[in-house]
Amino acid sequence: MIISTTVASGDIVLVGAVFLACAVEMVEALTIVFAVGHTRGWRSAFEGIVAALAVLSALVAAFGPALVHVPLTWLRLIVGGVLLIFGMQWLRKAVLRSTGLKAKHDEDEIYLETVAELRAAGQPVGRDRVAFVMAFKGVFLEGLEVVVTVLTLGTSAHRLGLAATTAAVALVLVAIVGALVAKQLSSVPENAMKMSVGVMLVSYGTFWVGEGLKVKWPGGDTMLLGLVGLYLLATWALVAIIKVENASLAKGVSA
């Protein structure tokens, strides 16, 4: 009973982190692909997507098996450190966006900017290299973050299959929704999703750095849920404090 509960705790956080991270990255990639497809035609957009997916697959094939051979203690320490940094970067941005100190990621605006950039490049002669490169870069760069997330989380938890399946489900779901509505997914609550991913990545990062340093967590894997709660609380407190400061600064200016 205890074993099944602890395994489920780790898996829940793993699935949540991978699903949300992949969904957010897919929304961002889809915005660029739609801009390319609608402006310059779908052929170059699809060629860019296929080429990017091929390069990403080659990277997974090259680094995935290599990671499995790294001793688990070292792997968890390194991956934990990477996830701590990566997660704190996501959380920092999400806190700044929640408090209005950084512009929110606006898919509508990014779509329009990409369309304007593509139109400014002029009409293609022969193959549309501009469209191909734009679609390739969009899918490759966002996909690279998906690959890093899935490989690091999956290998360290010894659940690469679960992480890869979750990522695939997230990518397919967002692609289907995007194709059905046939436009960029601007109504997705990206900042809330990024904040959740940040909390989960920092939690996993803390947990694995601890495991790598032979820290004995009380409750084993269940401690992950405690860390998620702790970081959620800290993030909420940071947002609340900054909002109060913003309000008092605004009052000071208007008075």
Partner 1 sequence: MKNESNIVVRLLKGFAMFWWDFLVGDTPELFVATLVTIGVVFAISNGGHHRIAAVITLPVLAILSLTVSVRRAVRNARKK
Asked if residue 102 binds partner 1 (CB under 8 A), the reply is yes
Contact call for residue 89 and partner 1 (CB under 8 A)? yes
Examine residue 209 and tell whether it contacts partner 1 (CB under 8 A).
yes
Are residues 45 and 136 in contact, defined by beta-carbon separation less than 8 angstroms? no
Q: Are 159 and 14 in contact (CB under 8 A)?
A: yes
**Binding region for partner 1 (CB under 8 A) out of 24-32, 38-46, 157-165, 230-238:** 230-238
Answer yes or no: are the C-beta atoms of 33 and 49 closer than 8 Å: yes
Determine contact, residues 22/173, Cβ cutoff 8 Å: no
Q: How far is the CB of 183 from partner 1 (least distance, A)?
A: 30
* Cβ distance to partner 1 smaller for residue 97 or 159: 97
Q: Smallest gap, in angstroms, from Cβ of residue 179 to partner 1?
A: 30
Q: What is the rounded (10 degree) CA torsion for 81, 82, 85, 89?
A: -160
Q: Between 146 and 175, how does the x/- string for binding to partner 1 read (CB under 8 A)?
A: --x---------------------------
Taking CB under 8 A as the criterion, the residue among 156, 191, 196, 206 binding partner 1 is: 206
Among 41-49, 114-122, 151-159, 233-241, which window interacts with partner 1 (CB under 8 A)? 233-241
Smallest gap from residue 203 Cβ to partner 1 (A): 9
d(CA 74, CA 211): 10
Among 95, 147, 163, 188, binds partner 1 (CB under 8 A): 95
Among residues 210, 225, 232, 236, which is the contact residue for partner 1, using CB under 8 A? 210
Residue 231 contacts partner 1 per CB under 8 A: yes
70 is a contact residue toward partner 1 (CB under 8 A) = no
* 175 vs 230, beta carbon nearer partner 1: 230
242 makes contact with partner 1 (CB under 8 A): yes
* Binding flag, residue 251, partner 1 (CB under 8 A): no
Task: Give yes or no for residue 56 binding partner 1 (CB under 8 A).
Answer: no
Q: Catalog residues that contact partner 1 under the rule CB under 8 A.
A: 77, 81-82, 84-86, 88-89, 91-92, 95-96, 99, 101-102, 144, 148, 202, 205-206, 209-210, 213-218, 227, 230-231, 234-235, 238, 242, 245, 249
